[in-house]
Structure 1
């Protein structure tokens, strides 16, 4: 091939790359559907709104609280993010009206809640997260299966892998990785992220004793960013330029799937999970206007913009329409803004 022909060929390739870049960007950060209704403020609201629970959802909860205060200057609000398990405990104790959770409540937890209050909690999905498995940005690991992840974090290997995994050389990595031990990081046990990972990856088996426990997903990502030989997990919203999410395959020989908007929405990414608000909402009773409007805001165009801005993925428009319909009727002002009390 002559030099002019080579130059033309290179130009064609470069033009192709340029034209595909916007498509990749759009896939990673999609536009919010303009058909999602915008939030419309109601009559003035006062009092204090407390949101408890998931650290993964802390950026969302704080942003929604800030928006609520902008709409309602007489309203105050705070976010207490000790983990999904702590948020659920406070919801059970009647100390908070809303628990933000990065996992779905278990059937037994719903039974226990109904035993305490006489009715089930109200479940509201508000966004979608891809629980990512992070390695250092220099780590060239091409992907992991769920069975390999299980063998990394649990000695019991309930997914059936016949051998344990301790060193990076077992993944055929080159350079200094050949002699390096794998350092494991996890959020604390109160984190819904940890609960989800143990249930969906390790089949609820306990972690290895050498797993280093961090305060939450943000701390895990920070640790991996500073440790070339580390691996940990957390929501996709915690991704930074110093770490890399590893593509995951459901089974050996399966296709490695990256945690993207498309894979999360279509369900092909194995560790996709909705993000929830759980609300203590007694049937035929008056709900705090602050709680009702908080939910409406989260399910609005502005609320889903927050989901996207914080690195997570918005709900499908059809799901939002269905959820909003249950919150459409105006909520009469409550006599008290406090959470419902436990039954005697």
Structure 2
């Protein structure tokens, strides 16, 4: 076949497809960011594709910092984040002609995971600060009066990488605004990595979204300080804020969402979208009745 006849053949095929309606415009929404939100974001995208097949939502993780950087640079339609954007990040985005608008899409109880053989069921924020804080004073479980079967006493401190919104939120909520993490933590790329490592390591402690809890881990009941009652991490305690390390989960759009992005965001906040939040182990933004 000559080049001219091949070109004619392709042109006729495209023309035929257009005439038959086989080729249709499809909108793609770029959605990037938080590893805490990545599972529910993928579920949203999958279910929305069934409702509106003309819209494809491309979801990727990488951490809240990755999503926020993409929002600042204008390379994403929706940025997922498990922390609020900082004032300097918003200013940087605006300097580049972008206007981040915040949407709360769910709530999470940031669970403190320990091995299933851990002897206790609770811990205080003060204890967590001793374990995770630089110069906190607890490098061995015996420093806290704890003995764990199968553990040689050293605390294996599991954390997240510093581009994670979970890392930033934990730092602020547990260590304080100027608090720093201790050196020597095992910094995991994703929330699931934290849960997997703690599950296999008797001496370990780690923090992660409640949705990553399994029957092979223990999620501790957390008290603000010694002598105060502890609260278990659940969807209800995340929603009402009684759990000491509860947080909202965010999506950011460049300005108020429009067209297909607005329809998608409205659907996420609808009862159907919020039931997916609940199914994935997070707390919805409102009371919903799910099948």
TM-score, shorter chain, exceeding 0.5: yes
Gaps of 5+ in 1: 1-43, 158-163, 319-344
Q: Deviations over 1:287-319 (max 9, x none)?
A: 55221111011101110111011011111259x
8 A Cα contact 2:114 2:217, kept in partner = yes
Report the alpha carbon displacement of residue 242 of structure 1 after superposing the two structures with TM.
1.0
SS in 1 for 2:184: coil
Match of 1:206 among 180, 204, 212: 180
Kindly report which structure 2 residues correspond to 1:146-225, keeping only aligned pairs within 5 A, or say none. Answer: 146-157=125-136, 164-174=137-147, 176=149, 179-203=152-176, 204-225=178-199
2:56 corresponding residue in structure 1: 76
Q: Secondary structure of 2:149's partner? A: helix
Residue 243 of structure 2 is aligned with which of 269, 290, 296? 269
Distance 1:134 1:45 in 2: 46
SS of the counterpart of 1:127?
Answer: strand
- Show the 5 A alignment for 1:291-330: 291-317=261-287
CA 1:170–1:274 in structure 2 vs 1: closer, same or farther (change >3 Å)? Answer: same
Counterpart of 1:241? 215
Work out the CA distance in 1 between the residues paired with 2:35 and 2:232: 23
Distance 2:57 2:284 in 1: 24
Higher strand proportion (structure 1 or 2): 2
Equivalent in 70, 73, 85 of residue 105 of structure 1: 85
TM-aligned CA deviation for residue 122 of structure 1: 1.2
Residues 40-66 of structure 1 deviation map (CA, whole Å, 9 limit, x = unaligned): xxxx98221110000100011111111
Gaps in structure 2 of 5+ consecutive residues: 1-23
- The CA RMSD over aligned residues, in Å, is 2.0
Q: Secondary structure at the match of 2:49?
A: helix
Match of 1:278 in 2: 252
Structure 1 window deviating more from structure 2 (147-156 vs 219-228): it is 147-156
Q: Which residue of 1 aligns with 2:19?
A: none
Partner of 1:39: none
With normalisation by structure 1, the TM-score equals: 0.72
